[in-house]
């Protein structure tokens, strides 16, 4: 099992050891004092940590989170990271994201399309980590388009959802195609299937070329 980032711990909730961060609850997750459980079944990044992937996440690091949705995962990231830019395209989940950001002064919601990074390039500083959690066709292309924001020693953490690319193709074939596209901009360091937490998902750790 890889070392967890500073600010992420394993703590007991209802007799079960689970990942946890220190912050206000967001999605009804169990809490114990100031600590809140990080539900890996609702978070692909949480699943990557649970399966022992070497994410390169560090406490206080700067993060660009693509596909923030209602803030389930990005709120955990902002609990321990530094400035965290949360890009979400859909207005409805962005309203919930704003609620998650209210008690987190390091979380910056951006109502933008992750496929068009030029629309937020004037806001986002160079980051240590890009989290790619956009469940849409062309997931690797989205990651490539945002590579410009990643520090040279930084990491891309991508969760590739096979069914978002092709609902009938074998997931392994989909993953290989997406990885080939990612290699246009990144060197792939590690891949791991995210079962049993998420079916037909591949976790990817990469660094810029």
Handedness of CA 95, 97, 103, 104 (dihedral sign): negative
Long-range CB contacts for residues 86-91, cutoff 8 Å, separation at least 24: 86/110, 87/112, 87/113, 87/114, 87/120, 88/112, 89/113, 89/114
The fold adopted by the segment(s) 40-208 is: Rossmann fold (3.40.50)
Please state the pTM of the whole predicted model: 0.96
For residues 3-26, give the mean pLDDT: 96
The answer to whether 131 is a known ligand-binding residue is no
The answer to whether 72 is a known ligand-binding residue is yes
Structural domain boundaries in the chain: 40-208
The answer to whether 134 is a known ligand-binding residue is yes
The answer to whether 89 is a known ligand-binding residue is yes
CA distance 186 to 51: 22
pLDDT band at 101 (very low <50, low <70, confident <90, very high): very high
For residues 104-124, give the mean pLDDT: 98
The answer to whether 136 is a known ligand-binding residue is yes
Asked whether 23 and 68 are in contact (CB, 8 A), the reply is: no
pLDDT at 199 over 80: yes
pLDDT score for 7: 96
For residues 86-108, give the mean pLDDT: 96
The answer to whether 133 is a known ligand-binding residue is yes
pLDDT at 2 over 90: no
pLDDT band at 31 (very low <50, low <70, confident <90, very high): very high
The answer to whether 55 is a known ligand-binding residue is no
pLDDT at 1 over 70: no
């Amino acid at each position: 099992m890889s070392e967890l980032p500073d600010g992420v711990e394993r703590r007991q909730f209802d007799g079960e050891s689970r990942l946890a961060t220190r912050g206000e609850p967001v999605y009804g997750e169990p809490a114990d004092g100031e600590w809140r459980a990080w539900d890996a079944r609702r978070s692909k990044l949480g699943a990557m940590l649970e399966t022992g992937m070497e994410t390169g996440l560090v406490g206080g690091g700067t993060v660009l989170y693509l596909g923030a949705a209602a803030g389930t995962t990005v709120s955990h990231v902002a609990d321990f990271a530094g400035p965290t830019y949360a890009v979400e395209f859909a207005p409805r989940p962005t309203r919930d994201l704003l609620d998650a950001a209210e008690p987190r002064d390091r979380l910056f919601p951006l109502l933008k399309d992750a496929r068009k990074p030029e629309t937020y390039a004037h806001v986002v500083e160079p980051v240590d980590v890009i989290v790619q959690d956009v469940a849409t066709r062309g997931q690797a292309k989205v990651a490539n388009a945002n590579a410009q924001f990643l520090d040279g020693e930084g990491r891309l953490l991508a969760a590739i959802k096979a069914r978002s690319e092709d609902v009938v193709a074998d997931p392994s074939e989909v993953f290989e195609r997406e990885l080939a596209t990612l290699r246009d901009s990144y060197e792939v360091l590690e891949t791991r299937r995210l079962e049993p937490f998420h079916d037909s998902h591949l976790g990817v750790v990469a660094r810029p070329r």
